[in-house]
Chains A and B, each alone.
Chain A
């Protein structure tokens, strides 16, 4: 790992490092206003030349990483970061050489164990210095803030003005039932498709107010319900707004509503027995994957009910599993070994005091 001391050597000046910065320094005249045409509108002047500035500007989406690293390491001096850059980066003659030099240095860092940690990510020291340098430089110009934010995320899609982004021919699927995934993709998410023509590459889909992973091609935008969002939406009947947003222009184009219908009565929450069950979940998972994972690897499952007996236990198939009665109902831990094979696990609440049993539903292991 790179020591903090090593990073802080050097002053705050952007002056030269004594190394040959021939190409990098071209156009680096600080007496002129910065030319932002080659940096995607970002105002960024490292003093190492337009080529290097363009390179830093191209590292889009890395600002959160840079900010986290700078904060964690307490780095304040830009000059120290410049000084710490590898000589091969300084002496690059053109953009290709610069990219190759950085890639080579990154690889060498990993081989030599010169790594850094940012939010748990193990990165090369060179990566950390570059994204940190980029962050510090961008921070010098307040005008960069809006563009930087747009690079990474939409600040608040609810604030976007309604407008037109691209013509929409059709989209789907438009509905499902509680607990039922649809158009299941290889990573387990439920896929949605939208026939937009000419949507910009940076456009994103927003579902129920949240940005979701989006893929844009010339005629089709694909997205879907992922992870915890999928869990939440598929667990609760209702109508969920979908929109396409353009984070650069701050425009929101409504698409429609995705409908989650109640589960069919046969497989719905239990109503017989000792207590009515309002909701429970997660209702499905994948083989070997414990959703809502507990420290011991078990899957955390919750059953919401206003009248849970104080001695209630959850039975999964043939086994009583660890259960705990809570204010909202009951929580239980489904051991990971129960999730090793695809199938349906019948869940039943049991009260030892009364001997009563209450069907909860079926946990599907896909």
Chain B
């Protein structure tokens, strides 16, 4: 069922007891709560959402207002949604698993990557595709290349370059799409306008969550296990509040990693490519199916050279008069025959974990009494260098193969580096690790120093790739649901 504490708090005045309490009803919380409730029909699951069914009021938005320093994170205000369904209320539906190499530690970086591998998530990615209502679950670009002749460059032609495929959710608005199922699930209670005021801990575990509507009485929820699924910033804020001492030299909520390594994918348009006409390295629709092949580094380059992962999209545009598409008619310059267009190249770049890019608590408090967050967003300059090396690789590969030429339209300059914006993907501040000294949560998403607190959020990503995170967030949540329910992959309790 779904109840709104702001409208009818009476039934819960005496508090609630449940097996699992999930805070945050975005894609992570909803997929986790429904899966868990179905796997364990004898359990009671409570799902708390600070917002309602509609967009947050100005008063509600003020609760998570964040101050900033360092690089301007201009998408801060638009990147969160305090409402049922969370950020799926306005996501674009771009979906793709992390690449296999994204799980691997980059030898050039100073932090370990995922303690789990793609095989650990494979089955959950399949099911996450269903939750996100994708048209398929095959993300290999080569698998669709044959269906669209001329849309992609021939694989093998381009040394050092790889190709991947995005699919698209309709996009699924998790709040609207799954509200009927939340309503119908007997052993699940979803409470709207339940602002989390406090997590109460005792002897190495959480015992209660204290919540309240903005102008109502508090409600105490006791649970055997708690999951924070509040997005990549509010989740971290709550964990920082669990510190009873202002130190960060321990484990879990006292980890020096908590709040650090804040990351977001960033992008820019640095180049133009002269290449065969009709390439479709951008979103296109075919038989009502939306697809988007992208160009990347090859796996060999990523692993052998320690490059950042990144992807490139191409958009046909008016040609540069200096070098018209007719230039490619000069076979003596090595061009393969055919019509050529010019394309703007748009890149999405994986940032490396940056220790000084962080969320921290300030001494200012919101009306809930919680300390506000301060964001310092940083990007390592070497991330740009890697992105430009990918561009160079593409230019060289196309030129050697007789398939085009590259034009750098924006140099890797201080101005460019200062002005890139984020993609609204908040990652890294509660990173997952195999060793307690390397992160905040373990491979089962449990906070290291608390035996019954788990995190379902992109904040656990220890390495980020370039893929939009929602599909991975849902896959991790489905995996967490099975872990909490005590079942093996796809099994029963």
Contact = CB atoms under 8 A, between A and B. Distances in A.
A341 B74 contact: no
Contacts of B392: 122
Nearest to A298: B421
A186 B333 contact: no
Contacts of A103: 331-334, 402
A322 B74 contact: yes
A120 B407 contact: yes
A110 B92 contact: no
Nearest to B317: A227
Interface stretch (A77-85, A257-265, A286-294, A300-308): A286-294
B423 interface: yes
B83 to A, nearest CB: 10
A124 B399 contact: yes
B406 interface: yes
B78 A335 contact: yes
Which of the four size classes fits the interface of chain A?
Answer: 35 or more
B51 interface: no
B75 interface: yes
Given A187-B316, A295-B416, A340-B91, A121 B322 contact: yes
A324 to B, nearest CB: 13
A287 B416 CA distance: 23
B316 A64 contact: no
A208 interface: no
Given A213-B319, A298-B421, A110 B396 contact: yes
A91 to B, nearest CB: 16
Contacts of A333: 74
B282 A288 contact: yes
Given A106-B334, A110-B400, A187-B341, A213 B318 contact: yes
Most buried by A among B283, B292, B415: B283
A318 B55 contact: yes
B230 to A, nearest CB: 19
B399 A110 contact: yes
Nearest to A340: B92
A107 B400 contact: yes
A92 to B, nearest CB: 11
Contact of A288 (B79, B283, B415, B419): B283
Contact of B322 (A118, A227, A288, A321): A118
B321 A64 contact: yes
A337 B78 contact: yes
Interface stretch (A32-40, A41-49, A54-62): A54-62
Interface in B247-288: 267-269, 271-272, 278, 280, 282-283
B75 A335 contact: yes
Contacts, number: 158
A103 B330 CA distance: 10
B283 A287 contact: yes
B431 interface: no
Contacts of B75: 335, 337
A55 B331 CA distance: 11
A111 interface: yes
B415 A295 contact: yes
B395 A65 contact: no
Nearest to A339: B92
B430 to A, nearest CB: 23
B407 to A, nearest CB: 4
Contacts of A338: 78, 90
Contacts of A152: 321, 324
A210 to B, nearest CB: 11
Interface in B300-357: 313, 315-324, 326-327, 330-334, 341, 344, 346
A99 interface: yes
A102 B341 contact: no
Contact of A61 (B326, B408, B420): B326
Contact of A335 (B402, B406, B419, B421): B421
Interface in B60-111: 72, 74-75, 77-79, 90-94
Contacts of B319: 213
Contact of B423 (A119, A226, A319, A337): A337
Most buried by A among B168, B171, B313, B318: B318
A55 B333 CA distance: 11
Contact of B93 (A99, A102, A294, A341): A341
B384 to A, nearest CB: 14
Given A122-B395, A337-B78, A337-B423, A107 B322 contact: no
A10 interface: no
12 contacts: A59-B330, A61-B327, A65-B322, A65-B327, A120-B272, A121-B406, A124-B399, A188-B315, A213-B318, A286-B315, A297-B420, A335-B78
Closest 8 CB pairs of A and B: A340-B92, A187-B316, A295-B419, A296-B421, A341-B92, A227-B318, A99-B332, A103-B334
